[in-house]
Amino acid sequence: MKIAVVGLGYVGLSNAILLAQNHEVVALDTDAARVAALNAGLSPVEDKDATEFLARGGLTLRATSDGADALGDAAFVVIATPTDYDPQTNQFDTTSVEGVVDQVLALNPGAVVVIKSTVPVGFTERLRAQKGCDSILFSPEFLREGRALHDNLFPSRIIVGERSERARVFAGLLQEGARVDCPVLFADPTEAEAIKLFANTFLALRVAFFNELDSYAMVRGLETRQIIDGIGLDPRIGGHYNNPSFGYGGYCLPKDSKQLLANYQDVPQNLIAAVVEANATRKDLIAQQIAALGPKVVGVHRLVMKAGSDNFRQSAILGVIEGLQALGISVIVHEPGVSADDFTQAPLENDLAAFKAQADLIVANRRSADLADVPHKLFTRDLFGVD
């Protein structure tokens, strides 16, 4: 069976590799560098497992920028293009998804289209009506940046937004490539879209809760870890996903929680708005706590949210940098591999020794062995050493 996967970000790449273990997969992307990297057996995004799988070989996988080549005779087309949140419209920008659907309808109208990109609640049914096409499915992904292939190989669940034979076939393709059995749920399309947004917003809520617990402890002079350890002994709460940070960030949680809030336009709510607002409050407090220590130059160690990721878009540290600069504090940043063209918010110092020497105080969302020799300069809220 030939399957086309559109988009070579971490979602598209991980799905392409998963499916290419057993089927012919052609990945379609407009970025020539990503296409060339994949065809050379290299991962176009930072993902340890993807890098190892591609180096090992044995996959029936290639990449192209030719839409007809990828889509023309595919049985399934998996769409994994970005849907960034647009604050002007309070909606995801689904232009890329709609564009791929138009391509498929022009080149191969018999293909089953599976949307993996995150979309607003109700999008799939609206798109079906708009395009006059009922062969569009939604199947949410639950993947972590830097661990996307691992999470596809060891899924916690598989959800497909349709109750049909083709939905069962697609779920079977995902199960076939996985290393473990997991629950499979067939839901209606709109309910499947809601599952994705509510799941990620709950994770954002949990991050926000433990961050606000940590904020209270910082201001009151309490030991955060003692409190977290104690409440985590309740099995209903548990000792997971509880490590304080500068705020939730990355590609999914900020935009998904904002999109869910937008979907509440005509529904009374308090909690969802509070989750979104809590993140801004946390970043402001972190900046104030740092400023209270009186540094002249603050060094920010890493922009990325966690180890194994190459993405700093929507990283919480960006808000902290903005807050420090608003308070008149100079900031320098150490982020290897990032150039001044890619990041203009603060000066870069990618020589680690020079970075440590210049900074009075070093701010790190997560601890790093790189900073083991300057514990007296380190400001972090990382208590457990996990993402």
| Pairing mode of beta strands 61-64, 76-79 | unpaired
**198, 256 Cβ separation under 8 angstroms:** no
Largest CA distance in the chain: 64
Give mean pLDDT, residues 89-117: 96
pLDDT, averaged across the chain: 95
Let me know if 252 is a catalytic residue: yes
Contact 273, 283 (CB under 8 A): no
List pLDDT tens digits, range 22-79: 999 999 999 999 999 999 999 999 999 999 999 999 999 999 999 999 999 999 999 9
Q: Which CATH architecture has domain 2-187?
A: 3-Layer(aba) Sandwich (3.40)
pTM greater than 0.85: yes
Domain with CATH 3.40.50.720 in the chain: 2-187, 196-379
Sequence-separated (6 or more) residues with CB below 8 Å from residue 160:
114, 137, 138, 139, 167, 168, 170, 171, 184, 185, 186, 187, 192
Distance between CA 50 and CA 54 in Å, rounded? 6
What's at 244, amino acid-wise?
A: P
Residue pair 29/10 in contact (Cβ under 8 Å)? The answer is no
CATH code 3.40.50.720 for 196-379: yes
At residue 189, φ and ψ (nearest 5 deg) are -60, -45
Model pLDDT for residues 286-335, shown as the tens digit of each residue: 999 999 999 999 999 999 866 656 567 779 999 999 999 999 999 999 99
Q: Which of 28, 252, 286, 321 is catalytic?
A: 252
